[in-house]
Amino acid sequence: MSLLVVGTMAYDSVKTPFGHRDRALGGSATYFSLCASRFTDVNLVAVIGEDFDPKDLALLSDRGVNIEGVERQAGKSFHWKGEYGFDLNEAKTLDTQLNVLATFDPKLPESYTKSDYVFLANIDPRLQQKVLDQVTAPKLVACDTMNFWIDSAPDALKKTFERVDVVIINEGEARMLAKTPNLVKAAREIQSIGPKTVIVKRGEYGSLLFHGADVFSGPAYPLEEVFDPTGAGDTFAGGFMGHIARQNPERLTGELLRQAIVMGGVMASFTVERFSVERLASLEAAEIADRFRAMKRLTHFDDLTGAPTK
């Protein structure tokens, strides 16, 4: 099934305690597409500048990503510069240059308008809605967002939320949006806006899925070496949406959502093992199935024998 993604394609300059990369391939739509294309057909919508390396575009199209919707504009590509401390939990943004992203006005190629699944990565919620306006009859729509839009465009963001099935959001941003430190309450608050499903990303602690009244704790794979957390969240979304699109269920069940969230965690765990998209680009299909099995082993426990009676 076809999976449309709109988001950023960027060059990132990233420094972590384990090394640095200057102007390495990045951006939410890049990570998402490279990941989701393992599972299904991906229709990519983004804007790039004149400086965007044809080799980086080829990396995507060679994986089968449809890049017809990638618009090249005069000017430079979006550039992000950031640094992570030893705990790798939070990036310190040193510089953001929007460049061609500042005037991005997503227009979908005709062939994209019939996409079955849609992921609206973290961009201006008004642009997210513009994309959604152009898709005829999507089966499932998910979106991400960030603190900047929660602060600066709360009404537009609410309108996006009203039109999506799944909100995927960081822990800190869920708390900020719902104005409560309690994640269960925060997720219920977001659900009350419209989306039946809320996924809260908690970095190295995994994720929480709220689907109707059901709650699922999605595992994170404990890694001995984490080089660069950049793109983990977008890769997570790519594994999640990719798995669902590949299964293309008649009706979305809680069980498939659980499996898709574990797949999101599996894929994210690869991304952070190397800088930029290095690991994601070189990944073998068998490694994915292996790590999914490891996730099962990581979280499995037997039913209770001998409950306390006192």
Cβ-based nearer residue to a second copy, 51 or 255: 255
- 12: helix, coil or strand? strand
CA distance 292 to 186: 29
Footprint of a second copy (CB under 8 A): 37-39, 63-64, 86-88, 181-185, 188, 202, 205-206, 208, 215-217, 219-220, 222-226, 242-243, 246-247, 255, 258-259, 261-263, 285, 288-289, 292-293, 296, 298-310
User: Which of 247, 251, 1, 240 shows the shortest CA–CA distance to 116?
Assistant: 1
Cβ-based nearer residue to a second copy, 136 or 305: 305
Min CB(177)–a second copy separation in Å: 15
Cβ-based nearer residue to a second copy, 120 or 220: 220
Cβ-based nearer residue to a second copy, 194 or 254: 254
Indicate left, alpha or beta for 255 from its phi (over 0: left) and psi (-120 to 50: alpha): alpha
Token pair of 205 as six digits? 């602690």
Cβ-based nearer residue to a second copy, 251 or 310: 310
Min CB(224)–a second copy separation in Å: 4
Gyration radius of the chain's alpha carbons: 19
CA distance 302 to 297: 11
Min CB(222)–a second copy separation in Å: 5
- 109: helix, coil or strand? coil
CA distance 166 to 142: 4
Cβ-based nearer residue to a second copy, 108 or 263: 263
Written as one letter, the residue type at 110 is E
Min CB(163)–a second copy separation in Å: 27
Cβ-based nearer residue to a second copy, 39 or 78: 39
Min CB(215)–a second copy separation in Å: 6
CA distance 204 to 183: 16
Token pair of 10 as six digits? 């960027």
Min CB(56)–a second copy separation in Å: 19
Min CB(258)–a second copy separation in Å: 4
Indicate left, alpha or beta for 276 from its phi (over 0: left) and psi (-120 to 50: alpha): left
Written as one letter, the residue type at 200 is V
| Residue recorded with tokens 């199935």 | 289
Is residue 274 within 8 A of residue 67, CB to CB? The reply is no
